[in-house]
Structure 1
Amino acid sequence: MRRMVLSILVDNTAGVLSRVAGLFSRRGYNIDSLTVGETEDSRYSRMTVAVTGEELTLEQIKNQLGKLEDVLEIKELKGDNSVCRELILIKVLASQAERQAIMSVVDIFRAKIVDVATDSLMIELTGNQTKLDAFIKLLDGFHIKELVRTGVTGLTRGSGDMADYID
C-alpha cells in the first residue's frame, strides 16, 4: 500500500466536486483527504486528493480522473518535487497553571495562538503531516477540547503549472 497525493486542475463549474467524489465512491476508492479551492484564475479550481492503495488501484484512479470532462491536468505530488502542507486548529482547555507549558510547545513548533479565552487557547499550526502529528502528541497530557484538520494541499515546485490553460 502506498499513499498518493494528486493535484488536479479542474474547471471551476457547478458539480465538478460531486463528479470527482462520485468517481471515487462508484469505484469503491476511499479518499484520505480532499481540499479544493479557486486558483488565481477564477475559471479554474485546484483539488488536492490524498488516497492510499495498491499500485494498480492508484494507477486506475489517475486514469479514471483523466477521463472526466472537467479535469484539465493531474499531477502526482511526490516528496522530492512538491511542497505539501496541512493546517490544524486545536482548542485546548488551559488553566492559568497550564498556559505556560502549552505556550512552550506552541513556540517550539512555531505555531500561533489565535484565540484566548478564560479557560482555553486556540492554536493554529501549518506543516506536513508528521509535524502536525508530533505536535498533537505533545499536547496529549492536556485536554484537547476540539481539533480540526484541513487535509493536505500542495503544489509542484517550479513554474509553468497553468500557462497552458490561460488564454
Structure 2
Amino acid sequence: MRHVLSALVENKPGVLSRVTGLISRRGFNIESLSVGTTEDPSMSRVTAIVQADGVAYEQITKQLHKLIDVHKITDLTDEGAIERELALFKVAAEPERRSEIIEIANIFRAKIVDVGRSSLTIEATGDEAKLAGLEDLFRAYGIREIVRTGKIAMSRNAKD
C-alpha cells in the first residue's frame, strides 16, 4: 500500500540522511521525497511516499519516533490530504506549433516560463493525474526534458 508520510524534524545537517536511511535500511523504496523549512525556521517538513504494508509501515513510524530530531509524524494516507507536485516540461516547439502548445498549457493553468528558438519550458503544478495528462499531451510535440519535484501534502482543514 502507498503511504504518505509527513514528518516534522529539526532543521539541521544530517537529519534527512538519518530519516531516509532508516526507511531504506528496512528495504523500502521512497517513491517521492520533498523537504522544506516550515513556518518555524528551526523545523523542516519531510514528505515521503513509501510503498509498505500496514505492519511494515507501523514499524517504520515507530522507529522514526525514536530519532531525537523527529518531533511529529503524520500519516496523510487516509486523511484525504491535499497533495501537489511541480513539474517543468521542456517541449519541442517550432514557431508554427507554439500556439497549440500554449493553448494546452492555458487549459491546464500552466505557465510558460522560458521561450527558446525551438522549445518552450512550461511550469505546472497539481496532482499526479493532472501532470500525467499534461505530459501525455506534450508527448505529441516532443518532450526534450522533464523535471518533477517530490510530492508535498497537507491535511485538509477539519470540518466544523
TM-score range, shorter chain: over 0.9
Match of 2:71 in 1: 72
Q: Aligned residues: percent identity? A: 49
Match of 1:147 in 2: 146
Match of 2:52 in 1: 53
Deviation at 1:29, TM superposition (A): 1.1
Deviation at 1:81, TM superposition (A): 4.1
Runs of 4+ in 1 over 4 A off after TM superposition: none
* TM norm structure 1: 0.89
Distance 1:140 1:105, change over 3 A: same
Deviation at 1:100, TM superposition (A): 1.4
Paired residues, number: 158
Match of 1:89 in 2: 88
1:11-160 paired onto structure 2 within 5 Å:
11-78=10-77, 80-158=79-157
Which sections of structure 2, spanning at least 5 residues, go unmatched? none
Which sections of structure 1, spanning at least 5 residues, go unmatched? 160-167
* TM norm structure 2: 0.93
CA distance in 1 between partners of 2:54 and 2:16 (Å): 24
- Amino acid across the alignment from 2:124: L
CA distance in 2 between partners of 1:54 and 1:78 (Å): 12
For residues 112-157 of structure 1, the C-alpha deviation after alignment (integer angstroms, 9 at most, x for no partner) is 0011111110000000111111111111211111101001001112
For residues 62-94 of structure 1, the C-alpha deviation after alignment (integer angstroms, 9 at most, x for no partner) is 222112111100111136442110000011111
CA distance in 1 between partners of 2:38 and 2:60 (Å): 23
8 Å contact kept, 2:88–2:121: yes
Q: Secondary structure at the match of 2:109?
A: coil
- Cα RMSD, aligned residues only: 1.4
